[in-house]
């Protein structure tokens, strides 16, 4: 396939709730464009996308697949995306480089919760969008319900271009209000016969056509003037006005189809060719420094990597979009993030698992290459001397966390290398070696997402990952004031150790008065790196402790702040005032005072009403009204506090605050409770005291762990 000019390129992302038929529809598009000679099927595991063994085993898309075909004189790059929200990161990458989002709606289910989630990303990227009501051949297809829901959820900008005739098992015709014709399909699908619109449908077709003419006229003063004077626009004028309106998001066209029966896809591809924006019609790309990068083939090459895949026997495959210039085989570009020079020894157009070699790719086009040394997702490459950085993809925050246990100590490094490599391929996966929790913590979008991580580790790196419930990053504080003293005395024949410390320990809060009854000479308030504050007051009078021991005493207290007495967690929001003590001219030293202050603080802490704080998260659940009771009932078992309920379209939104401890495996529970008809998001809210019974359980478990560790 020869290189295409930017104006002759269309980049589309196929989006939709799981089960809306994206993969089948993509297959039909390729077949209609004669890019393939036979349509594969999901059931037979032979589609161009969904080509990995795992996708075929599970029966649905898990990864975004890049495909391409030619329609007339235009190249259409198609990115088929997963519909499960565990893999939202794959959708985000597709929308980053797509110029039009094609949202498939299941004609029997209407606007589903996954559609809502995807629409948020489309709005975020300000991507022109169109709808396809798919599966109109299903016995329970309901076009009017689907259209009504789309208009209620996405507003009056949803503009139907078509409506079906004989929807259901007898579906065989579509009335097109733009072309004012009826397409009647043979039973086997494929090329339709054009017929006059039957009389009973003429009034509706006329009404829809007039709405399309008005939408086109609104985008150009000359067209508006002609519309007012003549009452209509010709086909070229309609195309011009509709192109402008779609590119600026002023309307969202809605089409009809059956991907399974190959009905309607050819007309949709014609619309993509005629009306959808090319890369040069879209706003200039935003840069990390706030500048802009126009899509111009005459500029210097600029390549952005939006996806990387580690393929067995091939290595790293990098998918990219050429944002400007012309990229040719053999070109050497420099990574703007790490200054590594990368040679594009081969260039390919992608057709799922297959790749076609090409000599060049022009601005706006999408391609891939293999074996780049040090370049990964979200990185930009330019000619030497240019440091342009396309704005990075901002991935959704994680919603699930698990601790990972290697099979053996010998596998720790192997496991770390595997997780690092998988994270480079999948930026929605976060991996942390937590010093606080003493665990390897991985975070992702859901349990299915983490199952894929485990599968990749085993298949590609030979590492078995065991997931366990992670520890909770509790915090410890106190609730009352206590005075405490401690004497450290040790004699070992030579010079001994001696230190005595008297301190007051009390809860700290912003703006609190100076310690009553003490002569505060110096007060320090530190922002702790794990949150909260620590106030240290030096109130020694008469020189009973030399000021040179101040740092040692503070260091001793800090050592206990980093490992609280109750759970081993970080302590916060505490004020310690050192007001008395004793020292010895020979036996007192930094170590003695550090040990004395550590023990003194520990004893005081345990008498000062210790309180464990737990992380609380804001939880927002969007679900159908008919499963709302199940969701609410489950939240009550999770110590949740319901903050409010609201309606969003025909969905219910539940807002709650839930302890992190109670969110373990919530994604799978919610999916089971709602049959997948719900979505949720979480965000850290605050630390709050745990109930007394929960605190007792936590401290008892910690004491047992410590005892077992000591015996070991």
DSSP string, 593-636: HHHHHHHHHHHHHHHS--EEEEEEEEEEEEEEGGGHHHHHHHHH
pLDDT of residue 711: 45
585 or 609, which is more confident: 609
The mean pLDDT value for 511-531 works out to 94
Distances (CA, A) of 239 to 2, 60, 122, 210, 397: 27, 36, 23, 14, 40
Q: Which residues contact 441 (CB under 8 A, 6 or more apart)?
A: 401, 402, 403, 404, 431, 432, 434, 470
Is the predicted pLDDT of residue 236 greater than 90, yes or no? no
Distances (CA, A) of 452 to 18, 53, 79, 407: 17, 12, 20, 18
CB 146 within 8 A of CB 160: no
Element (H, E) at 274: helix 265-274
The mean pLDDT value for 64-78 works out to 95
Helix locations, 387-513, DSSP H: 412-425, 447-461
Q: Tens digit of pLDDT for each residue in 169-202?
A: 999 999 999 999 999 999 989 999 999 999 999 9
Percent of the chain with pLDDT over 70: 98
CB 68 within 8 A of CB 349: yes
Is the predicted pLDDT of residue 566 greater than 90, yes or no? no
Collapsed DSSP state (helix, strand, coil) of residue 234: coil
Is the predicted pLDDT of residue 685 greater than 60, yes or no? yes
Is the predicted pLDDT of residue 441 greater than 60, yes or no? yes
Torsion-angle region of 214 (φ positive above 0: left; ψ -120 to 50: alpha; else: beta): alpha
- Closest CA relative to residue 17, chosen from 131, 103, 130, 115: 115
State the residue for tokens 């719900």: 678
Torsion-angle region of 258 (φ positive above 0: left; ψ -120 to 50: alpha; else: beta): beta
pLDDT of residue 229: 67
Long-range interactions of 509-515: CB distance < 8 A, separation 24+: 509/573, 512/575, 515/539, 515/575, 515/577, 515/579
pLDDT of residue 617: 97
Backbone angles phi, psi at 407, to 5 degrees: -60, -35
pLDDT of residue 53: 81
Written as six digits, the tokens of 112 are 């589903």
Q: How many CB atoms lie within 10 A of CB 284?
A: 14
Is the predicted pLDDT of residue 712 greater than 70, yes or no? no
The band of 678, judged by pLDDT with boundaries at 50, 70 and 90, is: confident
Burial of residue 518 (CB within 10 Å: 0-12, 13-18, 19+) is: middle
151 secondary structure, DSSP code: H
Distances (CA, A) of 20 to 31, 102, 172: 19, 12, 19
CB 285 within 8 A of CB 390: yes
CATH code 3.30.230.10 region(s) in the chain: 476-609
The residues with which 443 forms a beta bridge, in sequence order, are 401, 430
Q: Which fold has domain 403-468?
A: Alpha-Beta Plaits (3.30.70)
pLDDT of residue 505: 98
Q: Which residues contact 41 (CB under 8 A, 6 or more apart)?
A: 24, 27, 47
The mean pLDDT value for 327-337 works out to 96
DSSP string across 153-205: HH-TTEEESEEEES-STT--EEEETTTTEEEE--TT-SSPEEEPPPHHHHHHH
Report which listed range, 416-420, 479-483, 665-669, is most confident: 479-483
pTM of the model: 0.87
Q: How many residues does the chain have?
A: 712
pLDDT of residue 363: 97
- Say if strands 332-335 and 366-370 run parallel, antiparallel, or are unpaired: unpaired
Backbone angles phi, psi at 181, to 5 degrees: -150, 155
- Closest CA relative to residue 84, chosen from 451, 448, 430: 448
The band of 2, judged by pLDDT with boundaries at 50, 70 and 90, is: low
The mean pLDDT value for 195-220 works out to 91
Is the predicted pLDDT of residue 220 greater than 80, yes or no? no
CB 411 within 8 A of CB 311: no
Cα–Cα distance for residue pair 528/477, rounded to 1 Å: 13
Cα–Cα distance for residue pair 608/4, rounded to 1 Å: 74
Tell me what the pLDDT averaged over the chain comes to.
92
Is the predicted pLDDT of residue 311 greater than 90, yes or no? no
- Compute the Cα dihedral for 248, 249, 251, 254 and give only its sign: positive
CATH number of 612-694: 3.30.70.240
Is the predicted pLDDT of residue 579 greater than 50, yes or no? yes
- Say if strands 430-434 and 439-444 run parallel, antiparallel, or are unpaired: antiparallel
pLDDT of residue 411: 85
Q: Tens digit of pLDDT for each residue in 649-675?
A: 778 999 999 999 999 999 989 989 998
Is the predicted pLDDT of residue 49 greater than 90, yes or no? no
State the residue for tokens 């890369």: 279
Q: Which fold has domain 476-609?
A: Ribosomal Protein S5; domain 2 (3.30.230)
pLDDT of residue 494: 66
Distance of CA 93 to the CA centre of its chain: 10
The mean pLDDT value for 378-391 works out to 95
Q: CA angle, 65 as apex, 281 and 11 as ends, to 5°?
A: 10
The CATH architecture annotation of domain 8-192+249-281 reads: 3-Layer(aba) Sandwich (3.40)
Helix 221-230, helix 235-247: angle, nearest 10: 140
701 or 53, which is more confident: 701
Cα–Cα distance for residue pair 340/319, rounded to 1 Å: 18
Cα–Cα distance for residue pair 398/393, rounded to 1 Å: 15
Quickly count helices (H) and strands (E) in the chain.
16, 38
The band of 250, judged by pLDDT with boundaries at 50, 70 and 90, is: very high
Q: Which residues contact 416 (CB under 8 A, 6 or more apart)?
A: 433, 440
CATH number of 285-382: 2.40.30.10
DSSP string across 684-709: EEEEEEPPHHHHHHHHHHHHHHHHHH
- Closest CA relative to residue 455, chosen from 62, 100, 95, 177: 62
CATH code 3.30.70.240 region(s) in the chain: 612-694
Q: CA angle, 711 as apex, 706 and 712 as ends, to 5°?
A: 95
The band of 707, judged by pLDDT with boundaries at 50, 70 and 90, is: confident
pLDDT of residue 514: 94
């Amino acid at each position: 396939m020869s290189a295409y000019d930017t104006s002759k390129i269309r980049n589309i992302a196929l989006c939709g709730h799981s089960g809306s038929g994206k993969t089948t529809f993509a297959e039909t598009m390729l077949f209609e464009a004669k890019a393939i000679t036979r349509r594969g099927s999901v059931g037979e595991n032979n589609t161009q996308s969904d080509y990995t063994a795992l996708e075929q085993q599970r029966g649905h898309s898990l990864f975004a697949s890049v495909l391409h075909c030619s329609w007339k004189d235009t190249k259409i790059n198609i990115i088929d995306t997963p519909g499960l929200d565990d893999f939202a990161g794959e959708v985000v990458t597709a929308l980053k480089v797509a110029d039009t989002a094609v949202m498939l709606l299941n004609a029997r289910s209407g606007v589903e919760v996954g559609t809502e989630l995807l629409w948020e990303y489309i709005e975020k990227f300000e991507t022109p969008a169109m709808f396809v009501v798919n599966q109109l051949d299903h016995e329970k297809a309901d076009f009017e319900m689907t259209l009504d829901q789309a208009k209620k959820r996405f507003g009056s900008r949803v503009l139907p271009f078509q409506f079906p005739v004989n929807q259901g098992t007898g579906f065989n015709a579509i009335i097109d209000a733009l072309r004012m014709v009826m397409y009647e399909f043979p039973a086997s699908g494929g090329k339709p016969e054009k017929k006059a619109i039957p009389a009973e449908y003429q009034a509706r077709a006329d009404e829809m056509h007039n709405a399309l003419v008005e939408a086109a006229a609104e985008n150009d003063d000359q067209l508006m003037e002609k519309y007012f004077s003549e009452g209509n626009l010709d086909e070229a004028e309609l195309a011009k006005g509709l192109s402008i309106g779609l590119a600026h998001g002023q309307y969202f066209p809605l089409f009809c189809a059956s991907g399974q029966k190959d009905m309607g896809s050819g007309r949709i591809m014609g619309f993509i060719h005629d009306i959808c924006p090319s890369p040069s019609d879209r706003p200039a790309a935003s840069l990390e420094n706030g500048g802009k990068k126009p899509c111009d083939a005459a500029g210097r090459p600029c390549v952005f990597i939006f996806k990387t895949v580690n393929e067995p026997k091939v290595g790293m495959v990098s998918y990219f979009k050429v944002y400007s210039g012309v990229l040719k085989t053999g070109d050497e570009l420099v990574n703007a993030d790490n200054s590594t020079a990368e040679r594009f020894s081969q260039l390919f157009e992608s057709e799922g698992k297959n790749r076609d070699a090409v000599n060049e790719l022009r601005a706006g086009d999408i391609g891939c290459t293999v074996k780049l040394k040090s370049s990964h997702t979200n990185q930009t490459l330019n000619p030497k001397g240019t440091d342009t950085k396309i704005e990075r993809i901002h991935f959704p925050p994680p919603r699930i966390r698990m601790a990972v246990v290697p099979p053996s100590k010998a596998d720790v490094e192997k496991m770390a290398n595997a997780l690092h490599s998988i994270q480079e391929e999948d930026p929605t996966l976060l991996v942390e070696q937590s010093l606080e929790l003493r665990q390897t913590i991985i975070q992702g979008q859901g349990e299915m997402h983490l199952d894929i991580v485990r599968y990749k580790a085993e298949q590609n790196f030979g590492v078995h990952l065991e997931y366990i419930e992670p520890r909770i990053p509790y915090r410890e504080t106190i609730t009352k004031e206590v005075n405490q003293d401690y004497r450290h005395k040790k004699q070992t024949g030579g010079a001994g150790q001696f230190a005595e410390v008297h301190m007051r320990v009390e809860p700290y809060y912003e703006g609190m008065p100076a310690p009553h009854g003490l002569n505060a000479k110096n007060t320090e308030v530190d922002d702790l790196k794990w949150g909260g504050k620590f106030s240290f007051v030096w109130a020694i009078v008469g020189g009973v402790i030399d000021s040179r021991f101040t740092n040692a005493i503070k260091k001793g207290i800090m050592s206990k702040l980093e490992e609280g007495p109750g759970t081993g967690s970080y302590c916060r929001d505490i004020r310690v005032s050192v007001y008395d003590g004793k020292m010895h001219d020979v036996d007192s030293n930094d170590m003695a005072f550090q040990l004395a202050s550590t023990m003194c603080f520990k004893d005081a802490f345990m008498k000062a009403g210790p309180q464990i704080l737990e992380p609380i998260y804001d939880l927002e659940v969007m679900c159908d009204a008919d499963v709302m009771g199940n969701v609410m009932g489950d939240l009550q078992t999770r110590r949740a506090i319901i903050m409010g309920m609201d309606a969003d379209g025909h969905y219910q939104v539940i807002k709650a605050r839930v302890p992190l401890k109670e969110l373990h495996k919530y994604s799978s529970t919610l999916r089971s409770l709602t049959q997948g008809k719900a979505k949720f998001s979480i965000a850290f809210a605050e630390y709050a005291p745990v109930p007394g019974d929960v605190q007792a359980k936590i401290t008892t478990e910690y004491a047992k762990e410590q005892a077992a560790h000591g015996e070991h």
